[in-house]
Amino acid sequence: MPAAAAEGARSARIRARLEELGLSLPAVAAPVAAYVPAVASGRHVHTSGQLPFVDGALPTTGKVGAEVTPERAAELAAVCCLNALAAVEALVGDLDRVTGVVKVTGYVASAAHFTAQPAVINGASELLGAVFGAAGTHARAAVGVAVLPLDAPVELDLLVELDEAIERDGVAAPSA
């Protein structure tokens, strides 16, 4: 099959780029609840809202602008983003299949007077640019919310476009 042949010929380009950047994809975090980390529909993958888990724990909790600095929160947004990419890879098998990042929605648990949510979510946006180049260009919403699950400072989900459609059956893979 042409698709399979193309897959065989793929270099692990994005994997190599991640290594160049000194980054590695984490194991996919088990969802906190009854859902899966990512679902494909046609040529798109929607990830679940990702918390900045590192080795299964939140390294930092609290509100940005109070207990958490914007700089630290931007690092955590990058961690959320890596977790989201790991969820995409676990579902589709190879991040080289991502032809474009479409949308990032970033929620920042914010102290009452903190209004620099875009700077926080830049931690994710810049990572996507570094990893995917032009294909990492995305639309984005960044909002400040009262409180996030487990008192996480940031939560973020991704919508990405694939080179070709995936059957819905692919959904079962990450939870099986």
Confirm if 88 and 160 have CB atoms less than 8 A apart: yes
How many residues sit close enough to its own copies to count as binding (CB under 8 A)? 64
Q: Is 119 in the site for its own copies (CB under 8 A)?
A: yes
**Beta-carbon-side half-sphere exposure of residue 173 (alpha carbons within 13 Å):** 17
**Site mask for its own copies (CB under 8 A), range 16-55, x = bound:** ---------------xxxxxxxxx-xxxx-xxxx------
C-alpha to C-alpha distance for 76 and 71, rounded to whole angstroms: 9
Residue in the block written with tokens 């059957």:
167
Q: Is 118 in the site for its own copies (CB under 8 A)?
A: yes
Interface positions with its own copies (CB under 8 A): 31-39, 41-44, 46-49, 99-100, 102-105, 107, 109-110, 112-119, 121-122, 125-126, 129, 134-135, 137-151, 155, 157, 159, 161, 168, 171-172, 175
